[in-house]
Amino acid sequence: MSRVYNFSAGPACLPEEVLRQCAAEMLEYGTSGMSVMEMSHRSKDFEAIINQAEADLRELVGIPDNYRVLFLQGGGNTQFAMVPMNLMRNRVADYIITGQWAKKAAAEAELFGKVNRIASSADKTFSYIPDCSDLPVSPDADYVYICQNNTIYGTVFHTLPDTKGKDLVSDVSSMLLSEPMDVTKYGVVWGGVQKNVGPAGVTIVIIRDDLIREDVLPGTPTMLRYKTHADNKSLYNTPPCWNIYVCGLVFKWLKEMGGLEEMQRRNIAKAQVLYDFLDGSHMFHGTVRKEDRSLMNVPFVTGDEELDKRFIAAATAAGFKNLKGHRTVGGMRASIYNAMPMEGVQALVAFMAEFEKANG
Ligand SMILES: *Cc1c(COP(=O)(O)O)cnc(C)c1O
């Protein structure tokens, strides 16, 4: 067996300890005589798994009692519709456009009501986060929406926007559990787990009690109502049992590693190694305004597409996988989530330095 350094933006690398535990428990979970994949979602064993996962997540993040945790399906893209269907009572919402995912979310919300794009960084290919200290928030907006860490462009809101009293809805797919998070600042905060938490197939939604209501938009399907899932503790229908189990193992792993403050410390240290190299390199350059740089997704270019291609080919051959930038941006992108060890980043930087010397 030879595991590579996988810099994929998602699905992405998982902690090796967690994968080993999955392997060890693959044929028999505890004394159940079966794999988690074969269990009824109504069984005592699975009930214990999902309850423990929620309890560990609540403890890790410090989720207050007036927020519910939902384990949903349909990926991030389904949240683009669920958010407006459940929250757009006035049929108005404000969106801050910082990349593809925010753009898609806004376009989907437009199926249901009026969308005001109150700030955008489209003018400079989403390479920065716009000033959100004094936004033209609409008086009748049901919520203000952001994509907090922009997976494709490598920007992050280091400061949350001033929503002038409106509920903030945030897509944290590519930064969930990478650092501490003050849940009380959000009405709804959600993330697909396949970036920084677990295997594709689960979306974690953390939502304040009072936003879980009956009076959703007319025609909202049962499965797309937050209330359906909140009332049934995420067991209204068959959930992705295995995926929730693996997320639970990752929560335990994060607790063992020292929790979210320790993850933040590690993530800052890892990103620093890469950004410091980029800042000193004559060949490779970061593409994002310095103060808005993400700790999770680091896009970079050489400025020469042919050279980019040669670099990606050489890196791939050397065991640094999935460094190709998003198809809409080009260049390279290194995603360095929780499960990417410091050694992986150091090895990548050493490889880049060597490549620069040989081809400079
Ligand atoms: C990947 C991603 C999505 C889309 O998730 P799917 O599960 O593929 O629908 C949405 N938002 C962000 C920030 C992402 O990184």
- Are both 242 and 269 inside the same structural domain? no
- Are both 245 and 291 inside the same structural domain? no
Residue 223 lies in a domain: yes
- Are both 218 and 290 inside the same structural domain? no
Question: Which residues constitute the domain of residue 99?
Answer: 17-256
CA gap 93, 82 in Å, rounded? 13
CB distance 76 to ligand 1 below 6 Å = yes
Nearest CA to ligand 1 atom 10: 76
- Are both 30 and 178 inside the same structural domain? yes
CB distance 21 to ligand 1 below 6 Å = no
For 207-233, write each residue's pLDDT tens digit.
Answer: 999 999 999 999 999 999 999 999 999
Residue 7 lies in a domain: no
Q: Domain holding 74: CATH number?
A: 3.40.640.10
Residue 8 lies in a domain: no
* Domain-ending residue, one of 256, 288, 321: 256
- Are both 137 and 111 inside the same structural domain? yes
- Are both 271 and 351 inside the same structural domain? yes
Residue 195 lies in a domain: yes
Residue 49 lies in a domain: yes
Residue 40 lies in a domain: yes
* Domain-ending residue, one of 256, 286, 304: 256
H/E element holding 263? helix 259-280
Instruction: Name the nearest CA neighbour of 25 among 6, 39, 10, 11.
Output: 39
Helix 75-87, helix 100-109: angle, nearest 10: 40
Residue 12 lies in a domain: no
Query: Per the residue annotation, which of 94, 167, 195, 292 is the catalytic one?
Result: 195
- Are both 289 and 337 inside the same structural domain? yes
The answer to whether residue 101 is catalytic is yes
Pocket perturbation via mutation, ligand 1, pick of 77, 149, 175 by most ligand atoms within 8 A of CB? 77
CB distance 79 to ligand 1 below 6 Å = no
Tally of structural domains, the chain: 2
H/E element holding 351? helix 342-359
- Are both 175 and 234 inside the same structural domain? yes
- Are both 350 and 225 inside the same structural domain? no
- Are both 40 and 86 inside the same structural domain? yes
Ligand 1 atom nearest 77 alpha carbon: 9
- Are both 238 and 104 inside the same structural domain? yes
Query: Per the residue annotation, which of 56, 94, 101, 166 is the catalytic one?
Result: 101
The answer to whether residue 308 is catalytic is no
Q: What is the DSSP string of 21-79?
A: HHHHTSS--TTSSS-GGGS-TTSHHHHHHHHHHHHHHHHHHT--TTEEEEEE-SHHHHH
Provide the whole-model pTM: 0.98
The answer to whether residue 304 is catalytic is no
Q: Domain holding 281: CATH number?
A: 3.90.1150.10
Q: List, in order, residues 6 or more apart from 199 with CB less than 8 Å away.
A: 11, 14, 193, 242, 243, 246
CB distance 308 to ligand 1 below 6 Å = no
Ligand 1 atom nearest 174 alpha carbon: 15
Measured over the CA atoms of residue 316, residue 178, residue 243 and residue 104, the dihedral's sign is: negative
In contact, 76 and 101? CB cutoff 8 Å = yes
CB distance 10 to ligand 1 below 6 Å = yes
Nearest CA to ligand 1 atom 4: 76
CB distance 54 to ligand 1 below 6 Å = no
Residue 79 lies in a domain: yes
CB distance 147 to ligand 1 below 6 Å = yes
- Are both 272 and 230 inside the same structural domain? no
pLDDT in tens, the chain (360 residues): 789 999 999 999 999 999 999 999 999 999 999 999 999 999 999 999 999 999 999 999 999 999 999 999 999 999 999 999 999 999 999 999 999 999 999 999 999 999 999 999 999 999 999 999 999 999 999 999 999 999 999 999 999 999 999 999 999 999 999 999 999 999 999 999 999 999 999 999 999 999 999 999 999 999 999 999 999 999 999 999 999 999 999 999 999 999 999 999 999 999 999 999 999 999 999 999 999 999 999 999 999 999 999 999 999 999 999 999 998 889 999 999 999 999 999 999 999 999 999 998
* Domain-ending residue, one of 228, 256, 284: 256
